[in-house]
Structure formats: C-alpha cells, structure tokens
Structure 1
Amino acid sequence: MPVAHEYLLRLSTQLNEGIVHPQRWNEALGSVAELMDAESAVVTEDSPHGAGANDLCLPIETDDGDVMYLSLHRSPDSFAFQPADVARAQGLLPYFRTALRLRHHVRSLQARHHQAACMLDSFDMPALLLDPNGQVLLSNVAGQAWVHSSSSIVGSRRVQDADGIRFRQCLRAACGQGMAPQGAAMQLRATENRPAQYLVLSPVQTETGTLADAAGVASATPMAMLVVRSTASYDNRAGRLFAELFDLTPAETRLLRRLVGGDSLADAARHLNVQMPTVRTHLQAIFRKTDTSRQSELLSLAATLVDTPYAE
C-alpha cells in the first residue's frame, strides 16, 4: 500500500524543521516507526543499527559520498519485515536524503560562522564586517557594543554629517564601489559623547565564500572589515615609530604627533607655534618619506603600524 501524499508532506516538514529543532526530528522518526509498525526508527552514521531478523536497515547516500542508515526495529515477538515493507521504507529515503543534505549545509554554515566569529573575537577592539551600505553583517562582542554606543556612526546610529559622509566614502573605497578595493581610514574627532577614534577599513576577499557564508550574503557581495581603534597614546607611539622607520626630522615628528592625535593642520600650527606654510612644507616631506599623498593615507598607515588597544 503506497504511503499517503499527506503523510509524506508532513514527514518532509518534520525532517526539515528537525535540522534545527531536535524534537521535530524525533517526532519524524516516531511517525516513521508508527507507519512501519516498528518499535523504533533511528538514523545512524557509518554502520546500521541492529542486524537481527526483525531489523530493517536501509542505506542513505549523502552528497559528500558518506553513507548513513535508516534503521527500523520490530520487537522479537512481532513479525519480520516483508518485501512490501522494504519498498515502503525505500519510498521515504528521498525525504531523509534531502533533510540530511540541508542539515550538512546548515552545519557547514554554522562552522564557517563560528570560524569567522573566532577571527573577529581575536581582536581586542571593535571589529565588524560591513556591506557597502554600512549594514553590519557580523561583529565581535566589542563591535556590537560599539555599534549601539554613542560613538558609532553605523547601523541605527548612521549619521548624515561630515563624519558620516567621509565614512561612506571610505566604505565605498574598501568595498571597491566604482574603483579597485583599497584600504581606507578616517579619524573621528573627540566630542562630548565619544573619545577620538580611528576607523580603519580593509577590503575582504570573498572568493572562497567562507566569510560570505558566515555573514549570510552571496559570495560576490563586496564587504569590508571595520576596526575601531582608540587614538589614546597614538601621538607618542606613532611619532617614535615613524621617526625610526622613515627618518623623520624632529619637526616632522612633532607635526605627525599632532596630526595623529587629532589636530587639523591649523590646530597643529597653533600648538607648534609655527606658520601654515611651514606646516605644509613639513607635511609634504612626511608624505614623500612615507610614500603617501593624503592625510587619510597617513592616518591609515599609522593605524596599521601602531597597535593601540581600544579604550572604552
């Protein structure tokens, strides 16, 4: 007697829901046992469950070449499985095969998500994966806290001021919107609600699909990694490092410290008690020695070279 279509639909639903809800998977196996007049029904890996006269074990080949088994067991005082029982059980195998394929895919996604999350969690500062629109696809715990803080300019706190415009320009550059993907950085100046911060954006290669799968987007979706770094102590550390690496003069080092610390050119000139033409001359020398051409590139280089933990 063929299995009713309504039963097969219900079984398919239970198995698919059972991918993430074990209780539904158990309910599906229970209904199969009832359908087959069996005492129990189990799905096992590698080897069948039971090999007695009252056991029926059918192989289920998976996409990756492995074999699982649908094993049915009847009590010793019951009757043995007949050819008609085998045919009926074989009619159920495609539904199990589909559910197992989906379960394998879900577990693969979960593993990739965990891998990507571990990578982000390795940062001791806010780290987030963003799409070109600034949507947060994945983040570490510090990143989640930052997104919901007054310091954030992404997510629900997306701003339309000059900082917001500059950030979207940097994000487009990192995601390769209208250009080849390239790293970008910007500085958020300190306000009453937030400390001074560097936002460093880096292109994310999605060809392998690992991060794209983990973020729940298509593999061709452009993404960028955002790392939020505090500017606290950047001025002295960057000054020393740049002076050693790029042979900056004392005057150039002092200017670099002011710029990395958050000063504009005018602020730096005032604090250093020099004229603007002198500041511009020093800045051009810094550009030449560091092979940069813009202040944003200089800040990006500083944020990359100087590892400053995020300050709450």
Structure 2
Amino acid sequence: MNEDMHGAIRGLYEGILDAQAWQRSLHAISSFAGCAHASMIVRDTDRDLMTVSEMVRPVHELLAAYEGEFHEIDPGKLFAQKLSPGQWYIDARDFGEGAMRRSPFYRDFFHRFDLCSYAACLVERQPHYEVYFALQRSFSQGVFTEADTRALDWALPHMRTAMAMRDRTLGLTMQARLSAQVLERVSFGLIAFSAERQVLLSNAIGERWVRRLDPAGKASEWQLGRPLADMVAAACAAHSPQPAQAALARHPDGASAQVIVLPLPPSHRFALPWQKPAALVVIHEDGASAAHLPGLLRDLYGLTPAEIRLAALLATGMGLPEASERLRVRHETARSQLKAVFLKTGTGTQARLARLLTQLGAALGPGPEADGGDGGGDGGKPD
C-alpha cells in the first residue's frame, strides 16, 4: 500500500474530529477511482428522502437538482434494499447501459452535468437511515466496472469504522451537552472534586462556590463548619470512604448554606484511566428559590398572587411571622393565606409545604437570573 493510500486512511480517522481531514480523504479516494465527483448520501428510509451530506468537488446546482427532484427517479434506489453493507451498486452492471440511455434520470439530469455513470456503496444501514458512498464519472472517464470498485476495497472497511467512531463521538458530544444543560437546571450547586481537590465538574452555582469552600490560599469570608479538605479526603478514602458528610457554611452577614459531601466510586467516568475516586459536593443555599416557582404554583394548585408570595417566602426557610412582616400583612391574614395554601397543595403542615416547594424548585432550576455572576443564588453576597 503506497503512501497516498496510507494518507487517505489516516484522513478518515482524523476526520472523526476534523471535517476537513474527512473531506481530504474522500477527495483522495475518489481520485483513485478516477471520478469527477464523490459524495456521501444519506437516505431517510422512513420518508424515502435522499440527502447529499458531503461532496468532493461540489456543484451546487447538481446537489440542488438531485435533492429537489431527481432522487425520486434514481434507478439505484431499486437496488439499494438488496445491498448489504460493503456491497456496491454499479449502474452499468446492475441497471444496464441500454436502460441508462433510455432513463430520464440520465437523459434529463446526469447528462446535463456531463456525467455518464455512477457507483454507490452501502456503508451503513440503521433502522431509520442508510449511508452511501457514491462516485460519479464524466463521459470522458467512461462507465464504472467491477474492477473499478474492487480497486477501492482497501478503503471501505476503514470508512465504515471511521464513520461509526465519528457517530459515536458526536453522540457522546451531544450527551455531554445535554448533561451540562441538566446540571444547570438544578437549583443547587454541584461540584465534583478529585482526591487532590481539583475541580472535575461543576454547574454555574457550584463554580461560584469553589473559592468560597476551598479558597486555596485566597481569603474567603465564608466559614465552613468542617474543613473541606478533610471531607473530600474522607469521601475519597481508598478502602472505606465515608458515605455522607455535611457542614454548614456561614457568611458574616447572616447568609448560610448546607454543604453535603458524597463519595463517587472509582468506576465513575472521571476516573479513567487512573481509576481514582472523587467526591461530589452539593450546596443548598438558604434563601435561594427558583425563578419560575410562582407560575408553577399558580398552574398546578391555583394559588392566588398573595398566596404565591407567601409560599415563595416560606420556601426560602423564612418563618410565618417574618414573612407576614416582609409582606406587610397582618399575622392573622398570613395565617388565613397559609391555611388556604395548605388546603390547595394538600400539604397540611409548613414542613410538608417546604418540602414540596423545595422539590418543585429543584425541578425548575435556578432560573435565568442566576446566570449573571455571583448574585443569583445568595442575593449578591460578597465572597
């Protein structure tokens, strides 16, 4: 195998992360077959639609004409279902040169772009789609033969493997993005620490708490009931990690937060390839509430605006006397509103109501205002 072939194969695997490398490799493979154009075609088997996803030496009018009209009369579709992955459709062999001369697909479409023949290999077949590697030749290059496609046998296994790896990589990327979005939806802080207290993962709320909990020589006004280093070390102990630990973080202005440290086993995703344990730190800020909680209380339970304001204050941990004073209503009025809230939500006690509101708040997430710096979860308390 010469250096050009090695380069084409290398480009297929580099193309898992680099679209230009994939394009260069397809260009090299098409050159081996002496083609005017080459393309990757995706067929939506549910709707019987053909889409050209990539093309070597693209002609935009050709792409538009094929996708918009002529894919419907493409004679190769009659043979596609009979192919197994790795097999070729060759128009001159399978459809026949006489039929090609009579077909409107060639007469009205291919010939318009100085093309006379094409061959397509089924690269991948999935339940809802198929992927083909298609080669097109001009009149000066002649029709495809079996010898032409056999000359590309060296490339097809690598193309199939590289495509599977690229699809898996794209799937993992989408999964990572979705995971990050899920982390940002929760209304509490999350931080994953290594045993050396390096941050492996955090959401936006957790990121604000990294320096507060583990200032690494920098001043922090937040005081933790137990040193974070000790709790992380206990959670990451090799033989007997401590199942759960908790401490209270306090600020001089009276703000506080509950800090919970849980062990992550060595098999967690961050451990590879060293198989090291890690610690998950969860921070629940007192006074934090979800931005969309009032609307949810209205829609789910039919609470009035006054009842929603009272419930939202109680969700922050505030007592009824303080809440009535904050709302500037009489204590008896607040008690009547609280009874109505109990009845509508089916909670019956302030403790159950607080638990319900906490659960709803966790499902809703911190809301858009929590994205803007350090003031989202604790009312802009200084570090």
| Equivalent residues of 1:151, 1:195 under 8 A apart | no
Structure 2: distance between partners of 1:114 and 1:140 = 12
- Residue 300 of structure 2: aligned partner: none
For 1:1-312, what aligned pairs fall within 5 Å after superposition?
4-46=1-43, 51=76, 52-53=91-92, 54-61=117-124, 68-147=131-210, 150-153=211-214, 166-175=227-236, 177-179=238-240, 182-190=243-251, 196-204=256-264, 212=269, 215=270, 217=272, 222-231=277-286, 310-311=377-378, 312=380
Tell me the C-alpha RMSD between the 2 structures: 4.4
Which one-letter code corresponds to 2:25 in the other structure? Answer: A
| Equivalent residues of 2:41, 2:132 under 8 A apart | yes
Inter-CA distance 72–305: structure 2 relative to 1 (3 Å threshold)? closer
- Give me the TM-score of the superposition, normalised by structure 1: 0.59
| Equivalent residues of 1:134, 1:154 under 8 A apart | no
Structure 2: distance between partners of 1:191 and 1:126 = 20
Structure 2: distance between partners of 1:39 and 1:96 = 20
Residue 22 of structure 2 aligns to a residue in which SS? Answer: helix
- Residue 293 of structure 1: aligned partner: none
Shift of 1:88: 1.4
| Equivalent residues of 1:175, 1:182 under 8 A apart | no
Structure 2 unaligned segments of length 5 or more: list them.
45-49, 53-73, 77-90, 93-116, 289-313, 321-357, 367-376
Shift of 1:145: 4.1
Shift of 1:204: 4.8
Inter-CA distance 27–181: structure 2 relative to 1 (3 Å threshold)? farther
| Equivalent residues of 2:197, 2:232 under 8 A apart | yes
Shift of 1:121: 0.7
Which one-letter code corresponds to 1:100 in the other structure? Answer: M
| Equivalent residues of 2:287, 2:317 under 8 A apart | no
Q: What CA deviation, in whole Å up to 9, does each residue of 1:172-229 have, x standing for no partner? A: 444564325622222234369x96443222345787x7xx2xx584696544432233
- Give me the TM-score of the superposition, normalised by structure 2: 0.49
Inter-CA distance 197–39: structure 2 relative to 1 (3 Å threshold)? same
Residue 74 of structure 1 aligns to a residue in which SS? Answer: strand
Inter-CA distance 221–112: structure 2 relative to 1 (3 Å threshold)? farther
Inter-CA distance 155–95: structure 2 relative to 1 (3 Å threshold)? farther
Inter-CA distance 239–181: structure 2 relative to 1 (3 Å threshold)? farther
Shift of 1:124: 3.1
Inter-CA distance 60–119: structure 2 relative to 1 (3 Å threshold)? same
Inter-CA distance 221–81: structure 2 relative to 1 (3 Å threshold)? farther
| Equivalent residues of 2:271, 2:277 under 8 A apart | no
Structure 2: distance between partners of 1:108 and 1:8 = 29
Structure 1: distance between partners of 2:2 and 2:215 = 50
Structure 1: distance between partners of 2:132 and 2:16 = 17
- Residue 113 of structure 2: aligned partner: none
Greater Rg over alpha carbons, structure: 2
Structure 1: distance between partners of 2:29 and 2:216 = 47
Shift of 1:39: 1.6
Residue 90 of structure 1 aligns to a residue in which SS? Answer: coil
Shift of 1:123: 1.9
Shift of 1:91: 1.4
Residue 160 of structure 2 aligns to a residue in which SS? Answer: helix
Size of the aligned set, in residue pairs, is: 237
Inter-CA distance 183–68: structure 2 relative to 1 (3 Å threshold)? same
Structure 2: distance between partners of 1:57 and 1:216 = 43
Structure 1: distance between partners of 2:135 and 2:259 = 59
Structure 2: distance between partners of 1:203 and 1:180 = 7
Structure 2: distance between partners of 1:112 and 1:155 = 32
| Equivalent residues of 1:41, 1:73 under 8 A apart | yes
